[in-house]
A = this chain, B = another copy of it.
Amino acid sequence: MPDPQTTASRRERLRTQTLQELKAASLAEVRERGAVGLSLRSVARRLGMSPAGLYRYVDSREQLLTLLIADGYHDLADHLLAALGTPPAERTAGDGATPEVPVIAGPDDDVAERIRAVALAYRAWSVAHPNVFGLLFGDPIPGYHAPPGGPTVEAMNRVGRALAQPLIEAWHQGRLRLHPALDAEELAGPLAPMVPVTAELPPAVLARLLLSWGRLHGQVSLEVFGHHHWLLPEGCEELFRADVEVTLRDLGVT
């Protein structure tokens, strides 16, 4: 896999470099002011460029946001995979500026510990980058829909696979308890489109994956968006850990 930094022409090198700077400056702005606070003129000032000059690198503000969204998914996926002990074989697309290293999972056969690891990493990344979390999982851009095979969906898939991985391991070990409600044939139809992305898993397992992600996400979402910040003034990591334990018990892996 050739490195574009060395093989590409001088033009292309400069181009990708300033595009990286553009995205970095925009990401910084999103980090401090949120997605709605991203101003093209402001990032142009940061780069010492004219506002019009940005349009040589980006079609619109909206497209710039989708670039940041894809990068954000990749960054989150990298952290989840790191928490699972996966070596950085996959490319790291985010800027990787997160200081703290997430919990390293235990031995590979300890599924419960691996599930804890991804869950805690999901929460740790989210509370560390609340505005990026909001960019990824908050209000969608009103009219926008990600192109089906595009880089956003691919990046999102990496997150999904990282979250699903330990659960799939548990299922392969026969340690994933399934619930009769998940075997309803009404689920087979709606879940069919998932099959190409998650290999040949029975619908009940697919449902388990989606529902587990939903539980995890709900807890993190409420905390990051400050919706029980007025109930629980401090960050509630203990509550989150308790939730993970309850879910582990419910999944049957502990």
Q: How many copies does the complex hold?
A: 2
Q: CA–CA, A216 to B227, complex, Å?
A: 14
Interface size class of A (residues with CB under 8 A): 35 or more
- Prevailing SS type, chain A contact patch: helix
Selected contact of A225 from candidates B139, B222, B228, CB within 8 Å:
B139
Give chain B nearest CB distance to A171 CB in angstroms: 16
Partner of A138, one of B139, B145, B184, B236: B139
Q: What does the 1/0 interface line of A174-193 toward B look like (CB < 8 Å)?
A: 00000101101011001101
* 9-residue interface stretch from A9-17, A32-40, A89-97, A100-108: A32-40
Assess the B134–A238 pair: CB atoms within 8 A. Answer: no
A137-B227 in contact (CB<8A): yes
**Interface segment, one of A18-26, A47-55, A243-251:** A243-251
Select from chain B the residue with minimum beta-carbon distance to A191.
Answer: B232
Determine whether the beta carbon of A179 is less than 8 Å from that of B232: no
Q: Which residues of B are found within 8 Å of A179, using beta-carbon distances?
A: 242, 245-246, 249
Scoring A37, A145, A214 by chain B CB atoms within 10 A of each residue's CB, the highest score goes to A214
Give Cα distance in the complex from A243 to B213, angstroms.
11
A148 contacts chain B at the CB level, 8 A cutoff? yes
CB distance from A219 to the nearest CB of B (A): 4
A202 near B: Cβ within 8 Å?
no
Find residues 194-218 in chain A having any chain B CB closer than 8 Å to their own CB: 194, 197, 207, 210-211, 213-218
A222 partner, pick from B187, B194, B214, B246, beta carbons under 8 A:
B214
Known: A181-B246, A213-B218. 6 other contacts (CB 8 A): A148-B230, A184-B242, A214-B219, A215-B215, A218-B218, A246-B250
> What 8 A-B pairs have minimum CB-CB distances, sorted nearest first?
A218-B218, A181-B245, A138-B139, A134-B139, A214-B219, A214-B218, A217-B218, A186-B238
